[in-house]
Amino acid sequence: MNELLLIVTVGGSRVALPAAAVESVVELDTLIPVPRAPAHVAGLSALRSRVLTVIDCMRSLELGATDCTDGVREAAVVEVDGHHYALIVDVVEDVVEALSDPSAVRAAMGAGWERVSKGMVETEEGPLLLIDIEKLITGPVAEARAA
Amino acid sequence: MDDLIADFVAECREMLEALGGEIVAWEAQPDDRSRLDSIFRFVHTVKGNCGFFDFPRLEALSHAAEDALADVRAGRRTPDAALVSAVLAIIDRIGEMIGCIEAGEDFPAGDDSSLIAALAPGAEGAAAPVAAAIPEGKGGAASAPRTIRLSVELLDRVMSGVSDMVLARNELARRLRETPTDVTVDGAFERLSGIIAEMRDAITRTRMQRIENLFVALPRMVRDLSAELGKQVLVDIDGGDVELDREMIEMIRDPLTHIIRNAVDHGIEAPADRIKGGKREIGLLCVSARQSGNQILIDIVDDGRGIDGKKLVEKAISSGALGKAEASALSPREQLALIFEAGLSTAKEVTAISGRGVGMDVVRSNVERIGGIVEVDSKPGEGTRMTLRVPLTLTIIPALTVSIANQNFAIPRSAIEEIVRVNGESVTLDHIGGAGVATIRGRRVPEVSLAEVLGLESIVAANEGSLIVLRPAGGDVYALAVDRIHDHEELVVKPAAPAVMATGLYAGTTLADDGSPILLFDPAGVAQVGGVKLEAQERTARVVETATAVAQRDNSVLLFRGLDGGRRALRLAIVDRIEEVERKAIRKAAGQLRVQLGDTILPLAGAEALEKGDEKVRVFRLNDGNHEIGYAFKEVIDLMPMDGELIPADNPGAVSGVTLIGGEPAELVDAHWLFSNHLGAAVKPADRGVCRLPSDDPWMQNMLRPIVEAAGYVVIGEEDELIPDLVIASDGKQVEAADKAKVIVLRSDPEGEDGESIYRYDRAGLLMALKAASGRGK
């Protein structure tokens, strides 16, 4: 399987996103907060006259919060169900080819990682965790508000 | 109707073309189920549509074919060659007839019974076609509008592309404003803007659909329902050509269906009952649509038994939805509105069709979700009128932008009833058990602090913000406190991400002109999150309002403090509005103080004590029905009933007397005197005197005439036939004195006092003489 993967760093860990799902990598500057939205929704931003819902991956993974006050953040733009999201990550590194199908991770991961995991893939850069973007966007279930 | 027929013809043609191959294949293989199905579908469609269009021959043909094919499908009959050719003959005949309809011709004379008879099992082969030859070369085809069918997804994609284009254009406009650009660039951009706007209009129209699409199914539905219920109902449909956003049509389909089912089931009585009630046994159900501004109104009117408000109230009390005390205070309209409460139904028994008490509340919430309103009006015994008001389109929403804690939000304008300042005269804010209650002109409305709902810190003092009175839909008013009100904007709204929508606060997101994202509030959602109990609050609020209104109707006065600090009162009825103007909008012009309000200039009273230092001045706008004047004041104290006796003033003037209001003396402003004094003679033509001036004297005409006219005279010349009250002449000229007319003689020499003439530039003397003359003239 030669799926292309985008390697990003979240909370100090290198993980892989399916590159096909990522439309672009942008630098976010302004961020409009969304009051009362779930914590992992960092806010809204505009990209080429589109509204992006910005997801703080750190919060989504329950690893703490990304500090958004220092201005420019790197983010991967994805589209899910017709909505555009920007996933805030620490660093966007490179695109690599997957050398294997994802396989279950048998080691114990953090609860946040466990939730978004699609399994482990082999790459030239060693094994990486493949992230389920939709689950990343859904955020921690416990914190999702029903109302 | 013509368009519908064109659609029908187009649809049939399309199906016939597609069937071409099927028919041949079916002929070869009569037991091929899928071919049979597609032919069955065709005759079924034709039959369904014919009933609507009143083509009895087509209907009979397609009906016969459908019956025969249904038997085959049900396995009651095996298809044989005779049946196949009989069906094919019928399809051919249908094709011919459709050709005639398209060309706008009458059907060729002929009898279809032989074709139909050929369908019967065991019939002897298909009868030879008996129809007269169809004239070839149907000229009518060219006149039909050329149409193509598009997938809705494609249209949606184009629409969203255009929306993006509008947003991109806005962003470009902003960038262009920020940087100095060439005139030619601006010109090109302007042209691009124009084209995009035009495209947006066009594409918006493509998304529009005739509401007929929704109405087409109604006659059938009503027919089936009334047959089931043993009632007779005539449906009258009007306004099918009104166009509505496609999505909107889908959104109102269910509510409309539900209302009609209700009308047939509960509204219209059984024929026997109708005759007993002195009505025609056939019930009438009118469904009509019309456009009003940017709303579409759909009326569903039946002439049935109507809704009994009292029964609704009883039901509501027994179900615990309403307290007894509350119930007694409901107006008839409010009683009727109870049908929208969950769990109420006046139907004696639950039927399969309706009456389970689920429904009208769902109808209302569905309509409100798309920014619409349902209204109900009913007279027991005479019928019910339900009105659905829905916006034309969902995608472009006029909105008001507001801010809280420096963040902008948008509120759909359709929900906004009014905007008041927290520190305004007629507004008080109270906190009752931690909940905010705003009293706006005697009306109590629950107050929701946007800052609290959003968990933000308000940046203005509590008494400096604004209240937006919102009526989310239906009639549930509440006031939303915001920091600042900004601007009206037309926003292209898109649904926000699910996580954002899940908060229940927002209806969507959009980009403002400056390119930053803005969240659009869902007014009902904000109320819900803000913990406002809409229904219950609204009822009591209305009760408060009506009670005070009755008490104050006759003699309520507006107590205020004048610019000079005096405590005064004005009868409320003549106060149109209160405006705040800049000091510079008030100036002395044409003899008196005047105030500019918008683009009108009104005489201003009460401004004698106006000080230089005042930056802003508040002005009552008084209206006597025909004319307006302004009255400057410092502050409004309260709205009070005038209960004490009036002690009249000694001299006529701005104050007609003194009275006790709220236990303290206050001067009652004499509005009549104000109007008579400040409007001047100009608006009292009945009282005008007539003055004759020599028409050949340029000085008289150019210099004197304006003064005389300003003094309230109608100026005439010697030739006019009106009898003058006053004649003005130069000395040395022959004066042709008319009966009873006073004569003023003007001399050009300042010296030469003779006791009778007046020097022409002795303005004071001249005015005195004019005044004296007018006094005598009356």
Chain A residues touching B407 at Cβ < 8 A: 32-33, 35
Tell me whether B527 touches chain A (CB under 8 Å): no
Q: Which value, to the nearest 10 degrees, does the dihedral of the CA atoms of residues B691, B692, B693, B696 take?
A: 150
Q: How confident is the model over B405-454, as pLDDT tens digits?
A: 888 899 888 788 888 888 777 788 887 777 788 888 778 888 888 888 88
* Whether B495 contacts chain A with CB within 8 A: yes
**Interhelix angle B183-206/B152-178, nearest 10 degrees:** 160
For the ranges B143-147, B232-236, B680-684, the one whose mean pLDDT is highest: B232-236
- Alpha-carbon torsion, ordered B697, B701, B704, B707, to 10 deg: 160
| pLDDT at B541 > cutoff 60 | no
Separation in Å, CA of B65 to nearest CA in chain A = 46
Average pLDDT over residues B588-596: 79
Of A33, A50, A139, the CB nearest to B407: A33
Which among B743, B727, B742 has a CA at the least distance from the CA of B777? B742
Q: Which of B171, B407, B499 sits opposite A32 (nearest CB)?
A: B407
Q: Do B502 and A144 touch (CB under 8 A)?
A: yes
- Residue pointed to by tokens 């034309």: B392
The predicted structure's pLDDT at residue A85: 92
Which among B453, B495, B500 has the least Cβ separation from residue A41? B500
| DSSP assigned state of B441 | T
Mean pLDDT of chain B: 75
Distance CA B183, CA B173 (A): 14
Residues of A contacting chain B (CB within 8 angstroms): 30, 32-38, 40-41, 44-46, 48-53, 81, 83, 85, 137-139, 144-147
Structure tokens at A137: 């966007």
What pLDDT was estimated at residue B644? 65
The nearest CA of chain B is from the CA of A33 a distance in Å of 8
Question: What would the pLDDT profile of B670-701 be if each residue is shown by its tens digit?
Answer: 777 777 777 754 444 445 677 877 777 777 77
Give the number of beta-carbon pairs within 8 Å between A and B: 83
* Residue of chain B whose Cα is closest to the Cα of A143: B499
Sign of the CA dihedral with A72 first, then A78, A82, and A83 last: negative
The arithmetic mean of pLDDT across residues B98-118, rounded, is 76
Residues of chain B found within 8 Å of residue A40, distances taken between Cβ atoms = 499
Q: What is the pLDDT of residues A2-26, one digit of tens each?
A: 788 999 988 888 899 998 889 888 8
Report the pLDDT averaged over residues A81-108. Answer: 85
Q: Residues of chain B with pLDDT > 90: what percent? A: 1
Write the CB contacts of A145 (distance below 8 Å, at least 6 apart in sequence). Answer: A36, A38, B502, B503
- Looking at residue B213, its pLDDT comes to 81
In chain A, which residues have their Cβ closer than 8 Å to the Cβ of B529?
Answer: 36, 147
Scan residues 442-461 of B and list those with Cβ closer than 8 Å to A: 453-456
Residue in B200, B450, B509, B511 to test binding to A, most A beta-carbons within 10 Å: B509
The per-residue pLDDT for range A43-77, each reduced to its tens digit, is 888 877 678 899 988 888 888 777 666 667 888 99
pLDDT for B592 equals 78
Distance, CA of B554 to CA of B571 (rounded, Å): 10
Choose from B164, B492, B503, B526 for mutation: most chain A CBs within 10 A.
Answer: B503
Name the residue with higher pLDDT: B732 or B364: B364
Residue B141 has pLDDT above 60, yes or no: no
The residue type of B486 is: H
pLDDT tens digits, one per residue of B164-184: 788 788 778 878 878 877 888
Confidence class of residue B733 from pLDDT cuts 50, 70 and 90?
low
Q: Which residue has the higher pLDDT, B292 or A42?
A: A42
B384 pLDDT exceeds 80?
A: yes
Range in B446-450, B503-507, B747-751 the model is least confident about: B747-751
Give the pLDDT of residue B720: 67
Lowest mean pLDDT among B234-243, B263-272, B590-599: B590-599
Tell me the C-alpha to C-alpha distance, in Å, between residue B274 and each of B285, B300, B310, B556: 14, 19, 22, 49
B591 has a pLDDT exceeding 80 = no
Of B620, B623, B639, the closest CA to residue B631 belongs to: B620
d(CA B437, CA B776): 62
Complete DSSP assignment for B740-767: T-EEEEEES-SS---SSEEETT-HHHHH
pLDDT at B628: 80
pLDDT tens-digit profile of B656-673?
778 777 777 788 887 777
Check A138 against B499: CB less than 8 A apart.
yes
* Residues of chain A with C-beta less than 8 angstroms from the C-beta of B454: 35-36
pLDDT of B295-335, one tens digit each? 788 999 988 888 888 887 887 787 777 777 777 777 777 77
Burial of B136 (0-12, 13-18, 19+ CB in 10 A): exposed
Portion of chain B with pLDDT greater than 70, in percent: 82
Token pair 């004499």 in the structure block, residue: B670
d(CA B222, CA B218): 6
Structural element, H or E, at residue B446: strand B443-449
pLDDT score of B352 more than 60: no
ipTM, 2 dp: 0.85
Which chain B residue shows the shortest CA-CA distance from A50?
B164
pTM: 0.46
Non-local CB neighbours of A39 within 8 Å, separated by 6+ positions: A56, A59, A65, A139, A143
Please say whether the beta carbons of A78 and A85 come within 8 A: yes
Whose CA is closest to B317, among B301, B306, B307, B328?
B328
Beta-ladder partners of B291 = B296
